[in-house]
Amino acid sequence: MAYFTGNSEELYKNALQVMPGGVNGNIKYREPYPLFLSKASGSHLWDIDNNEYIDYVLSYGALILGHSHPIIVKAINDLINEYGTILFGNPSKSEVEFAKLLLNIYDKKGEIRFTNSGLEATLLASRLGMAFTGKRKIAKFDGHYHGANPFLLTNYRPTKEKNKSGKIEKEPDSMEVNGELLDNISVLPFNDIEGTKEVLENEDVGSIILEPFEDGYIPAKRDFMYFLRNYTKENGIVLIFDEVKTGFRIRIGGAVEYYSIQPDLICLGKIIGGGSPIGAVIGKREIMELLDPRKEKSSRVFHSGTFNGNPMSMSLGMATVNTLISDNNFKKITDIAKYLKDGISKALNDFGIPHRLYGEGGIVNYTLSDTEINTFRDISKKNMQIRKTIDFSLLKEGVYLIPGSRFSLSLAHSISDIEHTIESVKHVIKEMISSNKLAVGEWDK
């Protein structure tokens, strides 16, 4: 198929004149330039050069119903008809209704506070942990991402090897994360009970936050999760699940449901907004009550925001969640994800390429190695580069994916989408082998 992206290249040159790096978020940058998109429908989107793609990014996983799902379109129209606005700046009944819906799924005895992004949710959870325990030090895991949260902005994509004693060195992800700010972050080894215990026993940590599935697809081992829950309870440490990627995607009830473990605080985002900006912190009543504005200044955590709980995010969020929990819709997404996973695995097997499949629910990913991956560090740089080359080549086949990243599935993805994707993977690999870009049989050397 013809593939031309010259208009994206030209528009990027214009963007460079008015925005740092030409983008409004560092992770939106792509080499040599990002695609500029013009429209979308269902599981497909188009760039400004009118190239059509099957969308497996879905706004970083947020659009689990797909683009412009009829339920979402109706929710927008109903919102305007009922409220006459998308923003009050004051409470509305939709906040209470959506709060009850989410609490019924994630923590029936807890409370919730809405924010406007997953970043804001992790930031608020970090502050609550500090206030509740009286300790500023927070522990996060090597390779885990919690948004541009200055309390946690280190070791997202570490490049340094562990030191001679096997300890993980801190690698700030942003230049201002230094001094006391960096001193108040402890970095833990994911899926390593003894290594995690050693760090915690030598540092006065008040809170621990983690992605239960690192990068959305590498699962925490169950014994590791049980250790974390028991250790934090015994030592008065606040345990925070960052479920911005996994909430409503690996299970309806996210990692809380998957592991049958109730943390102290849960951060949600993306999916619960139905495509609108949103985040939320759900947690134990005794912690969440610190946000009560009726408390004295000295005994409360201040948190506010004009757009918190706005009617648009509440309406679209309720429409999304209610759709997912009805008519077997979540299972439809997991079934289509399994079809993609099985198809990719068969294609790789047919070429004699060792691999492992990862992902739960509506997430699919694979590594080009038969070695078990327990952390992002376990993925060989060589194999990751090959995987990125495959994914970049898939763009020309009409498959939109962040190179090296996970596939996000939606209710809008069809069997024909999946079959096209599988055939595209086969074609790309065949072309790479014939052009000597892939040497099958040397993957782990």
What is the overall mean pLDDT for the chain?
A: 95
The full set of domains in the chain, from first to last, is 6-68+328-434 (3.90.1150.10), 70-324 (3.40.640.10)
138 DSSP β-pair partners: 185, 207
Report the amino acid identity of residue 408. Answer: S
Q: Is the peptide bond before 32 cis (omega within 30 degrees of 0)?
A: yes
Q: For 418-430, how does the pLDDT look when each residue is reduced to its tens digit (9 = 90+)? A: 999 999 999 999 9
Instruction: State the virtual CA torsion across 307, 309, 314, 318 in degrees, nearest 10.
Output: 150
Question: pTM of the full predicted structure?
Answer: 0.96
pLDDT value of position 440: 61
Cβ-count burial 9-30 (b if 16+ within 10 Å, e if not): eebbeebeeeeeebbeeeeeee
What is the spatial distance between Cα 275 and Cα 63, in angstroms, rounded to a whole number?
A: 6
In which band, very low, low, confident or very high, does the pLDDT at 110 lie, cut at 50, 70 and 90? very high
Backbone torsions φ then ψ of 246, nearest 5 degrees? -100, -20
Q: How many helices (H) and strands (E) in the chain?
A: 14, 16
Q: For 254-306, how does the pLDDT look when each residue is reduced to its tens digit (9 = 90+)? A: 999 999 999 999 999 999 999 999 999 999 999 999 999 999 999 999 999 99
In 10 A of CB 278, how many CB atoms?
A: 30
The DSSP-derived string for 329-361 is HHHHHHHHHHHHHHHHHHHHHHTT---EEE--T
Read off the pLDDT of each residue in 403-415 and give the average, rounded to a whole number: 97
pLDDT value of position 380: 87
